[in-house]
A and B are shown apart, each in its own frame.
Chain A
Amino acid sequence: MKDSFGTVTVKATMLVIAALLLFAPFLFQDIRALEVAARICIFIVLVASFDLLIGYTGIVSFAHTMFFGFGAYGSAIALKQMGPGWDAVAAGTIAGIAVSLVVATAIGLVSLRVKAIFFAMITLAAASVVLVLASQLSQVTGGEDGITYRTPELFKTATKLAVDEDGKVLRWFGVKLNGKLAAYYFVFATSLLLFLLMLRITVSPFGTVLKAIRENEARAEAIGYRVVAYRTFVFCLSAVVASLAGSVYAIWLKYTGPDTALSFAIMIDILLMVVIGGMGTMWGAVIGAVLMVMAQYYLRDLMGAASEAVASVGVPFLPELLAPDRWLLWLGVIFILLVYFFPRGIAGTLMAKGIRK
Chain B
Amino acid sequence: MNVLLSIRDMKTSIGQYHVLHGVTFDVREGGVFVLLGRNGAGKTTTLRSIMGLWQPSPASITFKGQNIAGMTTADIARLGIAYVPENMGIFGGLTVQENLILATTKGRFDQIRLRRIYELFPALEQFWSKQAWALSGGQKQMLAVARAIIEPRDLILVDEPTKGLAPSIVAAMGEAFREIALTTTILLVEQNFNFARSLGRDMAVIDDGHVVHRGTMADFAADSDLQGKLLGLSA
Q: Are B74 and A226 in contact (CB under 8 A)?
A: yes
Q: Are A357 and B77 in contact (CB under 8 A)?
A: no
- Counting CB contacts under 8 A, is A205 at the interface? yes
Count of chain B residues with Cβ under 8 Å from any Cβ of A?
30
Which chain A residues (191-244) contact chain B, with CB distance < 8 Å? Answer: 204-206, 208-209, 211-212, 214-216, 218-227
In the bound complex, residues from chain A placing their C-beta under 8 Å from that of B130 are: 356-357
Q: In the bound complex, what is the Cα–Cα distance between A220 and B83 (angstroms)? A: 11
- Counting CB contacts under 8 A, is B53 at the interface? yes
Q: Are B78 and A224 in contact (CB under 8 A)?
A: yes
B54 to chain A, nearest CB (A): 11
In the bound complex, residues from chain A placing their C-beta under 8 Å from that of B103 are: 223-224
Q: Which of A205, A216, A226 contacts B72 (CB 8 A)?
A: A226
B117 to chain A, nearest CB (A): 16
In the bound complex, residues from chain B placing their C-beta under 8 Å from that of A313 are: none
Q: Which of A204, A211, A227, A356 contacts B91 (CB 8 A)?
A: A211
In the bound complex, residues from chain A placing their C-beta under 8 Å from that of B129 are: 1, 356
Count of chain A residues with Cβ under 8 Å from any Cβ of B?
24
Q: Which of B78, B102, B134 contacts A208 (CB 8 A)?
A: B102
Q: In the bound complex, what is the Cα–Cα distance between A1 and B129 (angstroms)? A: 7
In the bound complex, residues from chain B placing their C-beta under 8 Å from that of A227 are: 74
Q: Which of B53, B85, B101, B134 contacts A205 (CB 8 A)?
A: B101
Q: Which of A204, A215, A221 contacts B94 (CB 8 A)?
A: A215
Q: In the bound complex, what is the Cα–Cα distance between A1 and B72 (angstroms)? A: 38
Q: Which of A204, A212, A214, A226 contacts B102 (CB 8 A)?
A: A212
Q: Give A contacts to B, CB under 8 Å.
A: 1, 204-206, 208-209, 211-212, 214-216, 218-227, 355-357
* Nearest 8 CB-CB pairings of A with B: A205-B107, A224-B77, A1-B129, A221-B73, A226-B74, A224-B78, A357-B134, A215-B91
Can you list 16 A-B pairs, Cβ within 8 angstroms, ordered by A? A205-B108, A208-B102, A209-B102, A211-B91, A215-B91, A215-B92, A219-B91, A221-B74, A222-B53, A223-B77, A223-B83, A223-B103, A223-B147, A227-B74, A357-B130, A357-B134
